[in-house]
Amino acid sequence: MEPKIVLLVENEPLLGELMTEALTDKGFAVVASTNAGGALRHLLSGADCDILFTDIDLGEGMDGATLAQLAHAMRPTLLIVYTSGRHSTQDFATVPGAAFLPKPYSLSDVDRALTQKLGETAKLSETAPVTPPSHRGQGTAPASGCGNRR
């Protein structure tokens, strides 16, 4: 089984490095970005991605809430986890089904949030009807919304 891919968007370099190492140790593949622009470039490239884990406050430019809205529009099945030490979910429009993790958080909090989101998806895929690839319309993408695994 291939590791789940987390797109980590965190503008604080030390926290980003710590989270990358911790998630990698937990068996995730991590693509890290310090800003929304880098995360959007990754998503627009068609590269694989299972979970967007984004801080709300990303410094200059686009914030994590706007990034999540755009990511959800591009890839509706992408799992999203927001985090912030300054905001709550009452402060911004959230993507349906997204999770919120307040800062400061522990590594076990992150692991629990990601495992819960992945578990919800597994339950949905167990009950959802599956369309064989030969019956997909021409030009349609795989159901994962994250492109093909290589």
pLDDT in tens, 34-86: 999 999 999 999 999 999 999 999 988 999 999 999 999 999 999 999 999 88
Model confidence pLDDT, tens digit, residues 77-135: 999 999 998 888 788 888 999 999 999 999 999 999 999 999 887 655 554 444 333 33
CA distance 43 to 37: 10
Type of residue at 135: H
Model confidence pLDDT, tens digit, residues 16-26: 999 999 999 99
Burial class (CB in 10 A: 0-12, 13-18, 19+), 132: exposed
If phi > 0 it is left, if psi is from -120 to 50 it is alpha, else beta; for residue 147 that is left
CA distance 33 to 147: 19
Max distance between CA atoms of the chain, in angstroms, equals 48
Q: Count of residues for the chain? A: 150
> Which strand (E) or helix (H) includes residue 65?
helix 64-74
CATH number for 5-121 (one of 3.40.50.10860, 1.20.140.10, 3.40.50.2300, 3.10.20.30): it is 3.40.50.2300
Is the pLDDT at 143 greater than 50? The verdict is: no
* Cβ contact 7:37 at 8 Å: no
Structure tokens at 94: 């959230």
Structure tokens at 147: 């492109």
Structure tokens at 95: 């993507």
What mean pLDDT, rounded, does the chain reach?
83
pLDDT at 142: 33
pLDDT at 123: 57
Structure tokens at 26: 């937990």
- pTM for this structure? 0.80
